[in-house]
Amino acid sequence: MTKVSFDQADFRKTLGQFATGVTIVTTLGLDNEPIGITCSSFNSLSMDPPLILWSLAKTAYSLPAFEASPYFNVHILGSDQDSLSNNFARQGSNKFKDIRYSKGLGGTPILEKHAALFECKTKYKYEGGDHIIFVGEVVSFIHEETKPLVFHGGNYAGIDSLI
16 or 162, which is more confident? 16
Q: With respect to residue 13, please indicate whether it lies within any of the assigned structural domains.
A: no
Q: With respect to residue 123, please indicate whether it lies within any of the assigned structural domains.
A: yes
Q: With respect to residue 57, please indicate whether it lies within any of the assigned structural domains.
A: yes
Q: What percentage of the chain has pLDDT greater than the value 70?
A: 93
Q: With respect to residue 4, please indicate whether it lies within any of the assigned structural domains.
A: no
Q: With respect to residue 12, please indicate whether it lies within any of the assigned structural domains.
A: no
Q: How far apart are CA 11 and CA 24, in angstroms?
A: 24
Average pLDDT over residues 103-121: 97
So what's the pLDDT on residue 137? 98
Q: How far apart are CA 47 and CA 77, in angstroms?
A: 22
Give 12's pLDDT tier (boundaries 50, 70, 90).
confident
Q: With respect to residue 14, please indicate whether it lies within any of the assigned structural domains.
A: no
Q: For the chain, what is the domain count? A: 1
Q: With respect to residue 137, please indicate whether it lies within any of the assigned structural domains.
A: yes
Q: With respect to residue 16, please indicate whether it lies within any of the assigned structural domains.
A: no
Give Cα 67 to chain centroid, integer Å.
14
DSSP 100-160: -EEE-GGG-EEES--SEEEEEEEEEEEEETTEEEEEEEEEEEEE-SSPBPEEETTEEE-GG
The domain that holds 91 is classified in CATH as 2.30.110.10
From 61-65, 74-78, 120-124, 157-161, the region with the lowest mean pLDDT: 157-161
Domain region containing 80: 21-153
- Asked if residue 163 has pLDDT above 60, the reply is no
